[in-house]
Amino acid sequence: MLGCECAVCQEQHPRNVRSRPSILLEWDGFVAVVDTGPDFRQQALRENLAQLDAVLITHQHADHVMGMDDIRRFTWSRSEALPIYSDAQTLQRLRVLYPYVSENLQPGKAVPKISFKEWSHPQQVGPFRISPLRVPHGDLICHGLLIETPAGKQLGYVPDTSGLPQAAEQALRGIDIMILNALRIDPHPSHLSLEQSLELLSILQATRSYLTHMGCPLDYLTLNPSLPTGVEMAYDGLALPLD
């Protein structure tokens, strides 16, 4: 946290140094990213990302979209436009934020070759079957994702929400991997607190669960060992097998 003097921010332990939340999905040569926040460039360099086949955006907040300019590099060698999936409201906001990122402009080094794709129902994105799950997040539309691999494994990803509606909760019960936000200790109007997140994870009963979108003073060194069995704090660079 900028300007913060708490122990978590000052000690700079590697697993407490958190960039904005995002996940990368890879399967049999297909690569997709969920959210392109302000740290997307550094995240892509860290993971040696050389290819991108799809982008999925959960919502329009700055910490999830303000790195989108850097997708340009991944469109230069593509024969087809890079698809960007999100809801109608978010896509409209992206058109305002990035007026030069347009399907109607001639693509080139400065103008990425992209295609906006509105979605509100399950569909195939490369090898993944992905279902958008509408969740509350302040006054904005936000979507979590239920991702199914060709091997039949299911991953849930909900980085921003203050609760899970019944439909989302039912879809995510008993899946293989669940990733859920836990912003801080104290309650927040548009995010889950640590206690609220752990309560929901106990209901969902995923095989493995991970906390994401965490701020200080959530300390990996002290909090992670105390979490319930099957629940861990995510950290930058964490890799999870999907087969």
Tens digits of residue pLDDT in 183-217: 999 999 999 999 999 999 999 999 999 999 999 99
* Count of beta carbons in the 10 Å neighbourhood of residue 108: 11
Q: What is the mean pLDDT of residues 101-107?
A: 62
Q: What is the mean pLDDT of residues 137-147?
A: 93
pLDDT surpasses 90 at 17: yes
133 lies in the same domain as 116 = no
Tell me the pLDDT of the chain averaged across its residues. Answer: 94
Q: What is the mean pLDDT of residues 144-169?
A: 98
Amino acid 110: pLDDT: 74
Please tell me the distance from the alpha carbon of residue 50 to that of residue 73, in angstroms, as a whole number: 9
110 lies in the same domain as 134 = no
Amino acid 133: pLDDT: 97
Segment among 38-47, 136-145, 147-156 with least mean pLDDT: 136-145
**pLDDT per position as a tens digit, 73-99:** 999 888 899 999 999 999 999 999 988
Amino acid 107: pLDDT: 60
Please tell me the distance from the alpha carbon of residue 95 to that of residue 203, in angstroms, as a whole number: 38
Domain membership flag for residue 46 = yes
Confidence tier at 243 by pLDDT (50, 70, 90): confident
pLDDT surpasses 70 at 128: yes
Q: What is the mean pLDDT of residues 91-120?
A: 81
**pLDDT per position as a tens digit, 27-74:** 999 999 999 999 999 999 999 999 999 999 999 999 999 999 999 999
Domain membership flag for residue 7 = no
**Where are any strands of DSSP class E within the chain?**
23-27, 30-34, 54-56, 82-86, 114-118, 123-125, 128-137, 140-148, 154-158, 177-181, 208-212, 231-233
Give the domain-ending residue among 120, 149, 164: 120
Amino acid 140: pLDDT: 87
Write out the residue range of the structural domain in which residue 109 sits.
Answer: 22-120
135 lies in the same domain as 115 = no
Domain membership flag for residue 2 = no
Please tell me the distance from the alpha carbon of residue 77 to that of residue 82, in angstroms, as a whole number: 11
38 lies in the same domain as 90 = yes
pLDDT surpasses 80 at 101: no
- Specify the higher pLDDT residue, 189 or 104: 189
If one counts the domains in the chain, the total is 2
Question: Are the C-beta atoms of 130 and 156 separated by less than 8 Å?
Answer: no
